[in-house]
């Protein structure tokens, strides 16, 4: 326990200090750490002297990167840091979340949701030669902290987990492009499969297996060549891509660690979910992006693969709410998250063009099929080909249909999808129109 005679002198460590020098004495009432007044709570360096009393002396420094450090000084002046933990406000004790994939579509929406709920959010980002943080640039920074790490590096994962000591971990990072997984199968297996194991082992190595809750972003691609329609938590898996196979390992290692070590670890089997923040190489965003550019005269047509593939498409904003709900349950479990409605790629194209008042009519079959656009706003505008098929976009092993049964999520989580496919397409096209008009041709 600290002696009441301990005096802590707090100084701003930057060139333009908010407080040049503040000296106060705090009486310690059964605590081994000092909580300074709010004006001193972030970014302060500390010097000290001890008027009277016993050693060692203990106190806590609040730092600007979102952590507190517990310090100990001996009578001889030796100093050591005894503990480091994530910053929390004592008044409400907000929970601390650690996320992988925070710069992606789902990560940005989830960070937004958690910050709105009062969480302190830590995100793991890969160190690369270029920044890709536009999705989170506008999020409030007071309780948002980023750390360099990688799912391929178990040591970095463990170090971050030990430092942050989160209440909840959301693993959203993955090589998530199905077509690309055929070309980078080994990398996909390492990140999407073994990356999950590294995080789970990191939780255990940090001694958090009974306190930290873990969410794994699983996928409807597990069902692949579907065994039944619709697919539920009990439907057998039959993945049809290296991505799906890697995700199946991730799914079962979560179940295994839950059963073997009593960890609160859950899988969210999320069916396809899109938004204006979806990457431009995914088929839905490729469609809406091309529709916007065609409408503004920057492109003539869009080239696609299998128009007959059918998916259960929802909005990512709805789906991250389900992720959060999963980790609030007393018992960990696995949940299908889906709309229960199936739409073909062909229909997604039609709904997207409809957002700019263009009707698509189809002619031909197979690789020779084309989509002809008719301008409904101005019928005098000549019709022309707007969609063509390019066999290079066919998958080596196609998944023809995916349709989820989210009854369990509805009954146990109180979750229901709230965005229709037509509203989703309209929102995405309008967003892509704004990007082009603002001069952004890259996002």
Q: Which of 368, 369, 349 lies closest to 359 in space, CA to CA? A: 349
| pLDDT the model gives residue 61 | 52
- Residues classed as catalytic: 219, 221, 243
Query: CB count, 10 Å around CB of 231?
Result: 25
- Structure token digits, residue 119: 């969480």
Contacts of 402 (CB under 8 A, 6+ apart): 220, 221, 223, 226, 231, 271, 272, 310, 311, 312, 342
| Nearest residue to 134 via CA among 172, 109, 103 | 103
Helix (H) or strand (E) holding 49: strand 44-50
In the sheet with 334-337, reading across from the earlier edge strand, the strands are 144-148, 120-125, 96-100, 168-171, 213-219, 265-270, 334-337
With residue 218 as reference, give the H or E element that holds it. Answer: strand 213-219
Question: Residues 357, 278: contact at Cβ < 8 Å?
Answer: no
Q: Check the CA dihedral 126-136-278-171 and report its sign.
A: positive
Q: Are strands 67-73 and 57-62 parallel, antiparallel or unpaired?
A: antiparallel
pLDDT recorded at residue 38: 34
Helices (H) and strands (E) counted in the chain, each on its own, are 11, 21
How far is Cα 25 from Cα 252, in angstroms, rounded to an integer? 55
Grouping H, G, I as helix, E, B as strand and the rest as coil, residue 280 is: coil
In this structure, are residues 347 and 284 in contact, taking their beta carbons and an 8 Å threshold?
no
DSSP state of 401: B
Q: What pLDDT sits at residue 12?
A: 34
| Predicted pLDDT of residue 41 | 35
Contact, 252 vs 244, CB < 8 A? no
Confidence (pLDDT) at 5: 39
Question: For tokens 């001193």, what's the residue?
Answer: 40
Contact 235, 250 (CB under 8 A): no
What pLDDT score was predicted for residue 412? 97
Determine the Cα–Cα distance for residues 175 and 182; give it in Å rounded to an integer: 11
Ramachandran bin of 199, using left for φ above 0, alpha for ψ from -120 to 50, beta for the remaining angles: alpha
How is residue 193 written in tokens? 């499969």
**Residue 332 dihedral angles phi and psi, to the nearest 5°:** -75, 150
Residue pair 124/117 in contact (Cβ under 8 Å)? The answer is: no
Residues of the chain with pLDDT under 50: 1-53, 62-67, 86-91
The answer to whether the bond into 247 is cis (omega within 30° of 0) is no
pLDDT digits (tens, 9 = 90+) for 102-153: 999 999 999 999 999 999 999 999 987 567 899 999 999 999 999 999 999 9
> What is the number of other CB atoms lying within 10 angstroms of the CB of residue 344?
15
Tell me what pLDDT residue 441 has. 82
Residue 223 has a pLDDT of: 97
Report the residue count for the chain: 443
Q: Are 311 and 272 in contact (CB under 8 A)?
A: yes
Residue among 355, 294, 320 nearest 102 (CA): 320
Local structure of residue 369 (DSSP, 8 states): -
Q: What is the DSSP letter of 58?
A: E
Q: Are 125 and 146 in contact (CB under 8 A)?
A: yes
* Structure-derived torsion over alpha carbons of residues 343, 348, 351, 354, reported in degrees to the nearest 10: -160
């Amino acid at each position: 326990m600290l002696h009441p005679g301990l005096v802590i002198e707090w100084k701003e460590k930057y060139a333009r200090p908010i407080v040049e020098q503040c000296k106060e004495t705090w009486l310690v009432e059964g605590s081994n750490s000092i909580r300074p007044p709010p004006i001193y709570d972030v970014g302060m360096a500390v010097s000290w002297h001890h008027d009277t009393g016993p050693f060692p002396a203990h106190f806590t420094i609040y730092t600007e990167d979102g952590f507190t450090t517990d310090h100990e000084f001996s009578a001889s002046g030796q100093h050591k840091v005894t503990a480091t933990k994530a910053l929390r406000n004592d008044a409400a004790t907000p929970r601390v979340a650690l996320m992988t994939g925070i710069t992606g579509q789902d990560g940005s929406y989830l960070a937004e949701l958690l910050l709105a709920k009062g969480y302190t959010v830590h995100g793991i980002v890969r160190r690369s030669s270029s920044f890709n943080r536009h999705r989170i640039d506008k999020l409030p920074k007071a309780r948002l902290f980023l750390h360099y790490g990688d799912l391929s590096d178990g040591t970095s994962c463990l170090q971050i987990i030990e430092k942050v000591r989160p209440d909840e971990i959301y693993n959203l990072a993955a090589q998530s492009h199905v077509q690309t997984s055929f070309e980078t199968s080994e990398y996909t297996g390492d990140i999407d499969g073994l990356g999950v194991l590294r995080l789970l082992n990191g939780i255990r190595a940090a001694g958090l297996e009974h306190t930290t809750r873990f969410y794994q972003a699983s996928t409807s691609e597990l069902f692949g060549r579907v065994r039944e329609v619709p697919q539920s938590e009990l439907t057998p898996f039959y993945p049809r891509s290296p991505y799906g196979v890697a995700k199946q390992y991730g799914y079962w290692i979560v179940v295994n660690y839950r059963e073997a070590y009593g960890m609160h670890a859950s899988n969210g089997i999320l069916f396809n979910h899109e938004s204006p923040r979806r990457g431009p190489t995914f088929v839905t965003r490729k469609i809406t992006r091309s529709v916007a550019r065609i409408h503004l005269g920057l492109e003539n047509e869009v080239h696609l693969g299998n128009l007959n593939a059918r998916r259960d498409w929802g909005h990512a904003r709805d789906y991250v709410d389900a992720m959060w709900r999963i980790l609030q349950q007393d018992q960990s479990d696995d949940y299908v998250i889906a709309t229960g409605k199936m739409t073909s790629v062909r229909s997604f194209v039609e709904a997207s063009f409809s957002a700019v008042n263009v009707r698509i009519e189809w002619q031909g079959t197979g690789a020779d099929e084309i989509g002809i656009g008719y301008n409904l706003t101005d019928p005098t505008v000549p019709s022309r080909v707007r969609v063509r098929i390019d066999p290079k976009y066919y998958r080596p092993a196609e998944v023809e249909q995916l349709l989820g049964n989210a009854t369990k999520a509805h009954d146990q989580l109180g979750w229901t999808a709230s965005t229709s496919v037509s509203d989703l397409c309209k929102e995405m096209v309008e967003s892509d129109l704004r990007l082009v008009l603002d001069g952004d041709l890259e996002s």
